[in-house]
Amino acid sequence: MSAASEPKVCLTIAGLDPSGGAGIVADIKTFSAFGCYAAAVVTSITFQNTTGVFGAVHQEPASVRGQLEPVFADLEVAAVKTGTLPTAEVIREIASILKRTDVKSLVVDPVIRSTSGFDLIDDIALAALVDELFPLATLVTPNIPEAERISGIRINDANSITEAAGIMRSKGARNVLIKGGHLQSENLSTDYLFIDNELTKFEAERINTTATHGTGCTLSSAIAANLALGYDLKEAVRVSKDFVTEAIRTAPGIGRGHSPINHLVRRQ
């Protein structure tokens, strides 16, 4: 196989969801759906299924470093996506290693709390995430509750989304995608992409479904895959938004809770 035809390597640094709907398993499926080669580093082993998160055992910084360094020593990583990063020490270790690499694209999904209400990061770790990883990120992808906690303001409309994005950019984030699925709307699910001072809205039909498990993980890993494939940021978000919307529409209804979306089919 020639170098030109080798698949792009995408690395997820995130938690393990044993039920396969979110975290590194969802990321691996998504990278593969876009024809990329998936690598994964585990930051936390969670105890969860589609009905909720019941606990977690976090990795030590040495464990994360021990996983990361051999990957970067061997593979030419085109894009990195981060998910659950449970402690300030782990975050600082990851940032230190990323600063020594030549990875062009980093998507930071600031996972704070599970859909079922389980806290996955404390205030000290969140501050480290903002300080250490926001300045390195190509894109930061919070949902509404995450954007509220990071910015410190209440979000209830497009104006407050813009204000929150401005606060996050003042904290070091170059580009911000605020996922608007938590805003009440009967017809549309709108995501807001801020690149410099430019706002682009991505609208999709709001689908009445319980198939929401892993949507955030899948969107951020899809964006990372598309950046690795050479799309510019706006197009990477557009393609990824369409991919997740179709995955929600065709979700197989696995499990008894918030079913994982179907991102097993390779994107054509």
What amino acid occupies position 167?
I
Q: Which two tokens stand for residue 50?
A: 């589609």
Measure the CA–CA gap between 150 and 69, rounded to whole angstroms: 29
Identify whether 50 is a catalytic site residue: no
Identify whether 117 is a catalytic site residue: no
CB of 259 within 8 A of CB of 50? yes
What amino acid occupies position 65?
R
Question: Which residues, at least 6 apart from 145, have a Cβ–Cβ distance to it below 8 Å?
Answer: 112, 113, 182
Catalytic residue among 115, 215, 218, 245: 215
Catalytic residue among 29, 81, 179, 241: 179
Identify whether 214 is a catalytic site residue: yes
Catalytic residue among 15, 83, 181, 216: 216
Catalytic residue among 190, 212, 218, 245: 212
Cα distances (angstroms) measured from residue 218 to each of 69, 70, 129, 262:
25, 25, 20, 10
Measure the CA–CA gap between 65 and 70, rounded to whole angstroms: 9
Catalytic residue among 115, 217, 241, 257: 217
Identify whether 82 is a catalytic site residue: no
CB of 176 within 8 A of CB of 139? yes
Identify whether 217 is a catalytic site residue: yes
Alpha helices (H) along the chain: 23-33, 61-74, 88-98, 123-128, 144-151, 158-170, 215-228, 233-249
CB of 247 within 8 A of CB of 204? no
Identify whether 179 is a catalytic site residue: yes
Catalytic residue among 20, 23, 83, 214: 214
Instruction: List active site positions.
Output: 179, 212, 214-217
